[in-house]
Every structure is written in structure tokens, then in C-alpha cells.
């Protein structure tokens, strides 16, 4: 046996072996006494491979350099057995020849053809044409597979694996995979090398052209328009704050000392351009007419009285401070940060433009939905490639003044990941006590944001971090009543959609009754976005109807006439023909149907889309005593069910529920639900089930329940009452401590609802459950 430390020999290979070691010399000498046969075994790290190659000693002599060597020809594979004794100093072993296996003849031929094409493509890249001829002459799949012993891209372990594999098909499959990987790597490396060469050539060409351009300008006596002297004059002429001017001149000095070929030159120029674009000394004058301000707000938006009143107050305070010379105290201006929180479609985003128009300020919208990088707010450090200032600085630059209205849209949807928390970066921006010295990471100079009016919009409070929420003055927009929706549709939505459809006001008319029916039975939302889409759908169908009439603008144009006045006749959409345009109503009032049996109660909830009606169902069945809760409820709602059952059992009002198996379900099971405000609804549903008395179909309720039966206050009362009004409920039960929230309720809703403030569950059950006599009469 002859160990090989740096080679793996496959059958069919003929290789020279240097005899510079005593081990190799002894093996060759012994082989000459034993039919010139050797067992070549790979030994890369001092450990023998379990397989080797039986080779025949062809010739012993010297290399051209004079070193002694032997030439061997590998013939077959062999597995190493136990060591045996033999003559001389060589190592003798028992070897078992491994028979070749061809598991699938046709498969082997196909794989051999594919492998041959891959090998030839590699050889063509190396211009090894003689080797290509040799490979093309090989037809035996096994012989072709064993030529991989010469492949330089295969490592030692791969060649040992080929040596140990008796199946020709498996050998070829492995070789094809390894060869394809090598070709893919080679292609990537070639492309990278090509790109590097092209980049170097382009850089060298640009360098030579710039040198020639500089020499030509020097001969003509022209100055570089982007040179340091030009930046120095621009900085000196600009109206910059003292600290900003000092920092800018320092960068100009650095630019003068930096070579034009240095990449830092471009960074400095970009920073100076950014500094010079910011309107450091530009401020617009606010409107002094408070009455006109309110008129503009009223013309653009119906309702939203809280927002409008707060903006008028802001303007009044600012005017008084200016009259008394208090515009700046301790570096702090009179900026304000208002957060508009409410369901989608109530006009939070669009009110920003109205505010800017009413105040006479510039308006910029900054979309924060999905922003996860803290640098989006504070900017990137200048050391990063592609660094730029944050969105706040870019908004100021875009507005062209230092006191615009900046709308931070969807602030509740700001995310956080390994790049930082943008909400934390907003803490300084939205703090009126700190934002007069806001420092962007890219600018690294103080920026005064105290005169900026920030408006933030959000759908819910829950996802806004508490420190950030604490810095904003929250104004809640809880949604519109049906009357308000009709007014908005008549004054704003319908004219806008008529214009977009290319219609005149006398061509299509939608009555107020039809608008109310759309809001009530086709949309069922807190805002007016779906209402706007429904109106657009009606007008589209009306446009088709108008164009289909005889004598329409299209027919006139076909006759060659100028049909500037498009259509003839007026289409009126009323409640009688509304279904021709929108189909059947999508939302019907179902409280009476759902609560017709005991065990079902109507609750009120708040979601990201506003208030909503929530039905809670309870039923009993035979089986082991216990409770099943379904509907994808959170832990708090599951605990509310347990509290409700415990309260009823402690008061002796649970009937035989303790011996029954109870199932409590909240429909819309695909929607996650959580919160304590369903406590009274859970208790009422279980009490209805235990007593057999159905819950009144006209009653909705909300409130948290304690084990002692106390009804605790909850949030979102106004949104819940608006949802009850939309659902057609007439009686609503709320916690007594939520009575102050009724002051914000519109008069039309207050008059349509009978509101019952309660402090104890016994009051809830007395109001909500049908009278026992009534149940008996209904059954009869």
C-alpha cells in the first residue's frame, strides 16, 4: 500500500509518483516483487481513506529534473481490509476489489452525455482543445465519470466520495451537481471581474476628462461654478443663523483643502446644498381674521367642532402673544401639536390642508405608516453612503418656510426594528418645550421647530407609545351621525364626484332620502369613505344611462356635430330606484332577530374602524359541567365570562348552569377581540340563558363588571353610542361614571336614544331582560 497525502487517483488515471520518501521507495520496491501491483490510498490528514485504487507499476526511473520517480496506471477500486505481513519495509494490506454497478443503463447514458457537455464547456473556457478531443472520444459512462480525477475544481473529499461510490449513475449525478455549481460560481466571478474592469476604465476616463476640462477652464480664465469660492460667497450672502453660518464656513474651509478627486468633496457639497436650501429666515404671516378662519374650516368640513375650536384658540393666543411682544420666550415659540384620533374616513388627513389654508400657511404631509427606521425622522449620519436629512427637515425644505403645517399621517402605524424606533425619535420633534433646538443627525446644527404647527393622525390610541402620546394634545373624532353624513354628502362628496364623472348638477340628482338610505343600509361606517364610493358608483351607472339615451353627446358626435352640451334629460336617484344603481342593501338591522331567543345579548365595542355592535351568544347542553369560550377572544374577555358566571352563581341567579356545560360564543370568529367593556353583556347573556328571559332587542350595553356586580367605566362611549344609533337600537346601558362623556354626544343622537346610566348589574338585568309575563305571552 502506498499512501498519497495530496492526491486522489481514480481508475484510468496515469500519474508519476516521486520517490523522495522512504515510504514511497519501500512500496515501489515491494511492488516490483509482487506482480508490479500497488494499492494507492488517500491520506490527506494522517488518516487513511477506507477505499483505494489498485494500480500497476508501469515504469521506474527519473524525472527530467533528476529526481527518482515511478509511473503508475490506476485500474480498479478496492476496499481496504486488515493488514498482513509481507517482505521488505513496505506496508502490506488485504484489499477487496469493488465491482462496478450500473443501476440504470439508459439513465447512465443520459447522465454521461450531460456531464460530457458540461466538461467540454469548462475546457472551452480554458481553450484546452486537445483535451476536448480526448473527452469527446470517451463513450463509456464509467470511464467518463472517472476522468473527474483530473478536475481541479473538485476538492479532496469530493474525489474520495467518487472513489468510494460503486454505482456509475450516482457518480454521474454527483458530478453534474458539482460541475454546475462550479460553472455558476465561475460565471459570477467573471461578471464581477468584468464589472470591476469597466468601473476602473470609466473612473480613469472621467479622471482624464476632468483634468482636461480643468486645464481648458484655466486657459480660458473661467472659474469653477461649483468651486469652494462659489460656496463661500453663497454662504456669506445667505441669511443664516450665526451657529449655522459658522458650521457652513467650516465646511467650506474643509472643501478648499480637499482634493477634487476625494469622495469627501461630494459629501461636503451635498451638505452645503442642503443647508442653503433650508428656508432659515422665511416665515409666512398667519391670518388675523378669526372669523374667516372658522368660515374656511366650516366650508371644507362639516362637524369636527372640537378641532375647529382648538385651532381658532391657537390662532387667538398666537395673535395676542405677537401683539404683546411675546413671540419668543426663552427660545420657545407658540407652536402646537394636535393629534387627531378617530376611525377611517372621518376627515383626519384632509383637515390638515384646510387648517393650512385657514391660517395662510404652507402645508406638507409626512406619511409615517410603516416607517421603521429611526433615521427617517432624524436623518442619517454623514459617514453613511447616500446619507440624507430626515423627513422633518425635508418637509421644512419642501414647504419653503419655517412655520408650515406639517401633517404626520398614521402616527399609530410607526414600527420599530433593529434600525431603531422612529416613535422615540419623534419625542423631541413633538415636544413644544424641546423642539426649538431639534438636531438632525445629517445637519448637526440646531433647527427651530417651535413655529411649526404639527398635526398627527391616528386610528387608535393603543399602538402609540405613552411618552409620545403625552406630548400631543389629543382631539378625538368619533364619527358622524346620519344627518351629518347626509350634509357632508350633499355639500362635499356629491359635487366632487359629479366633477370627476364629468357631469353637471342638473344632469344627475340624488335626493337626501337616497343619501340617508345609502349611509344607513349600504355603508354602515363611522366615516364617509364608503359613502363616497357608493355615490361614485351611482354616478358611473347614471353616466352610462345618459350616454345610452337617444340624442346623447356620443350620437351627436357620430353625426359630425359639436356636442359641447353632452346629454339631455335629468336622472333623479331616490329611495325607489336606488337598488337599480347599488343593488340590494348590504346591511340590515338584525338585533331583533339575533336576540329573539334567551342567551343572546347586544354589546357595543370600539374597533380601529370606529364603534360597532357586538352580539354575545350563550347556550347550555348536557355533559360535564364546564365552559367553552370561542370567537378568538383575548384573555381579558375570557376572564369577563368567568367573572359574569361567578357573579350570577354568588347571587343565586345561575339556575342550573352550574350543572350544565355552557358554550359562550362571540360571532365574527376570524376577528380578534379583547377588552373589559363586554362584561355587562356577558353577564346579561348568561342571566338570560339561566332565566329563560330573552334580552330586549332594542337594548345595547357596555361596561366592565366586578365580582361584586359593580359596573365600571370604559372608553369610547361616543363611538359606541353612534354605533348603537346606526344599528337602530333605542336603549343603551352605560356605566354611571361615564355620564360626563354624554356632553360630546350630538343632540340628534341623544334624542333618538334612551340612555340608562347604571352602577350595578342588577340595574342592567332589570332594564335589559324581557319581563316574565311578556315571555309567557310571547310563548302563548
* Binding residue numbers for ATP: 342-349
Cα torsion angle, 163, 166, 168, 170, sign:
negative
The three grid cell numbers given for residue 383, joined into one nine-digit string: 459617514
- For the chain, the C-alpha Rg in angstroms (whole number) is 43
77 and 166 Cβ atoms separated by less than 8 Å: yes
Known catalytic membership, residue 339: no
Residues making up the annotated binding site are: 342-349
437: part of which helix (H) or strand (E)? none
The answer to whether 55 and 64 are in contact (CB under 8 A) is: no
CA–CA gap between residue 184 and residue 422 (Å, rounded): 41
Q: Are 144 and 112 in contact (CB under 8 A)?
A: yes
Annotated catalytic residue within 339, 552, 640, 677: 677
The residue behind cell 374597533 is: 607
Is residue 720 annotated as a catalytic residue, yes or no? yes
Contact 9, 149 (CB under 8 A): yes
Give Cα separations from 591 to 300, 433, 435, 446, 497 (angstroms).
36, 51, 51, 59, 34
Give the contacts of 126 (CB within 8 A, at least 6 positions apart): none
- ∠ CA(334), CA(338), CA(340), 5° rounding? 165
Distance CA 470, CA 751 (A): 35
End-to-end CA distance of the chain: 106
- Three-class DSSP labels, 501-560: CCCCCCCEEECHHHHHHHHHHHHCCCCCHHHHHHHHHHHHHHHHHHHCCCCCHHHHHHCC
Q: Distance between CA atoms of 667 and 660, rounded to whole angstroms?
A: 22
Annotated catalytic sites, by residue?
Answer: 677, 720
Amino acid at each position: 500500500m502506498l499512501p498519497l497525502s495530496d492526491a486522489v487517483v481514480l481508475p484510468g488515471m496515469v500519474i508519476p509518483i516521486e520517490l523522495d520518501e522512504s515510504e514511497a521507495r519501500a512500496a515501489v520496491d515491494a511492488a516490483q516483487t509482487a506482480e508490479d501491483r500497488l494499492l494507492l490510498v488517500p491520506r490527506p490528514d494522517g488518516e487513511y481513506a477506507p477505499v483505494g485504487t489498485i494500480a500497476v507499476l508501469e515504469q521506474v526511473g527519473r524525472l527530467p529534473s533528476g529526481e527518482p520517480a515511478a509511473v503508475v496506471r490506476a485500474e480498479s477500486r478496492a476496499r481496504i481490509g486488515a493488514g498482513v505481513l509481507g517482505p521488505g519495509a513496505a506496508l502490506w494490506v488485504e484489499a477487496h476489489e469493488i465491482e462496478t454497478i450500473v443501476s440504470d443503463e439508459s439513465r447512465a447514458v443520459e447522465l454521461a452525455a450531460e456531464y460530457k457537455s458540461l466538461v467540454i464547456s469548462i475546457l472551452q473556457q480554458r481553450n484546452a482543445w486537445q483535451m476536448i478531443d480526448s473527452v469527446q472520444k470517451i463513450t463509456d459512462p464509467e470511464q467518463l465519470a472517472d476522468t473527474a480525477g483530473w478536475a481541479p475544481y473538485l476538492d479532496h473529499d469530493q474525489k474520495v466520495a467518487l472513489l468510494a461510490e460503486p454505482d456509475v449513475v450516482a457518480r454521474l449525478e454527483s458530478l453534474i451537481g458539482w460541475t454546475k455549481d462550479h460553472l455558476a460560481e465561475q460565471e459570477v466571478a467573471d461578471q464581477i471581474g468584468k464589472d470591476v474592469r469597466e468601473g476602473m476604465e470609466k473612473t480613469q476616463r472621467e479622471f482624464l476628462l476632468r483634468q482636461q476640462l480643468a486645464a481648458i477652464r484655466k486657459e480660458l480664465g473661467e472659474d469653477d461654478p461649483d468651486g469652494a469660492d462659489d460656496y463661500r460667497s453663497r454662504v456669506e450672502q445667505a441669511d443664516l443663523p450665526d451657529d449655522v453660518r459658522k458650521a457652513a464656513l467650516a465646511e467650506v474651509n474643509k472643501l478648499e483643502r480637499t482634493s477634487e478627486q476625494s469622495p469627501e468633496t461630494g459629501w461636503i457639497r451635498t451638505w452645503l446644498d442642503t443647508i442653503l436650501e433650508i428656508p432659515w429666515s422665511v416665515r409666512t404671516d398667519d391670518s388675523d381674521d378669526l372669523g374667516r378662519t372658522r368660515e374656511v374650516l366650516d366650508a371644507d368640513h362639516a362637524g369636527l367642532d372640537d378641532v375647529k375650536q382648538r385651532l381658532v384658540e391657537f390662532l387667538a393666543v398666537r395673535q395676542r402673544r405677537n401683539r404683546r411682544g411675546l413671540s419668543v420666550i426663552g427660545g420657545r415659540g407658540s407652536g402646537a401639536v394636535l393629534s387627531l384620533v378617530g376611525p377611517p374616513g372621518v376627515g383626519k388627513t384632509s383637515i390638515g390642508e384646510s387648517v393650512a389654508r385657514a391660517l395662510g400657511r404652507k402645508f406638507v404631509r409626512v406619511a409615517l405608516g410603516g416607517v421603521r427606521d429611526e433615521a427617517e425622522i432624524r436623518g442619517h449620519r454623514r459617514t453613511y453612503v447616500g446619507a440624507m436629512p430626515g423627513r422633518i427637515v425635508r418637509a421644512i425644505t419642501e414647504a419653503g418656510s419655517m412655520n408650515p403645517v406639517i401633517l404626520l399621517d398614521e402616527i399609530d402605524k410607526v414600527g420599530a426594528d433593529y434600525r431603531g424606533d422612529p416613535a422615540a425619535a419623534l419625542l423631541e420633534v413633538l415636544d413644544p418645550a424641546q423642539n426649538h433646538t431639534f438636531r438632525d443627525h445629517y445637519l448637526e446644527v440646531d433647527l427651530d421647530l417651535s413655529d411649526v404647527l404639527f398635526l398627527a393622525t391616528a386610528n387608535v390610541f393603543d399602538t402609540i407609545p405613552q411618552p409620545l402620546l403625552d406630548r400631543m394634545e389629543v382631539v378625538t373624532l368619533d364619527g358622524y351621525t346620519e344627518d351629518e353624513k347626509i350634509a357632508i354628502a350633499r355639500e362635499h362628496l356629491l359635487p366632487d364626484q359629479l366633477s370627476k364623472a364629468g357631469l353637471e348638477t342638473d344632469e344627475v340628482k340624488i335626493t337626501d332620502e337616497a343619501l340617508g338610505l345609502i349611509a344607513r343600509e349600504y355603508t354602515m361606517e363611522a366615516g364617509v369613505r364608503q359613502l363616497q364610493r357608493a355615490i361614485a358608483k351611482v354616478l358611473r351607472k347614471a353616466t352610462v344611462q345618459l350616454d345610452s339615451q337617444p340624442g346623447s353627446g356620443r350620437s351627436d358626435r357620430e353625426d359630425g356635430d359639436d356636442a359641447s352640451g353632452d346629454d339631455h334629460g335629468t336622472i333623479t336617484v331616490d329611495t325607489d330606484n336606488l337598488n337599480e344603481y347599488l343593488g340590494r342593501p348590504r346591511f340590515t338591522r338584525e338585533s331583533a332577530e339575533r336576540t329573539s331567543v334567551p342567551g343572546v345579548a347586544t354589546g357595543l365595542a370600539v374597533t380601529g374602524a370606529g364603534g360597532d355592535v357586538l352580539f354575545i351568544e350563550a347556550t347550555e347542553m348536557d355533559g360535564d359541567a364546564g365552559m367553552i369560550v370561542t370567537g378568538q377572544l383575548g384573555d381579558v374577555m375570557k376572564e369577563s365570562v368567568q367573572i359574569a358566571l361567578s357573579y350570577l352563581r354568588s347571587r343565586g341567579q345561575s339556575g342550573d348552569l352550574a350543572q350544565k356545560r355552557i358554550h359562550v360564543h362571540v360571532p365574527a370568529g376570524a376577528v380578534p377581540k379583547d377588552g373589559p367593556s363586554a362584561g355587562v353583556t356577558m353577564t346579561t347573556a348568561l342571566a338570560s340563558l339561566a332565566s329563560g328571559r330573552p334580552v330586549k332587542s332594542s337594548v345595547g350595553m357596555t361596561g366592565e363588571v366586578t365580582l361584586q356586580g359593580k359596573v365600571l367605566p370604559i372608553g369610547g362611549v361616543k363611538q359606541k353610542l353612534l354605533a348603537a344609533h346606526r344599528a337602530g337600537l333605542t336603549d343603551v346601558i352605560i356605566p354611571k361614571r361615564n355620564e360626563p362623556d354624554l356632553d360630546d354626544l350630538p343632540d340628534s343622537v341623544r334624542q333618538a336614544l334612551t340612555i340608562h346610566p347604571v352602577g350595578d348589574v342588577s340595574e342592567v338585568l332589570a332594564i335589559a331582560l324581557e319581563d316574565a309575563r311578556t315571555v309567557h305571552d310571547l310563548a302563548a
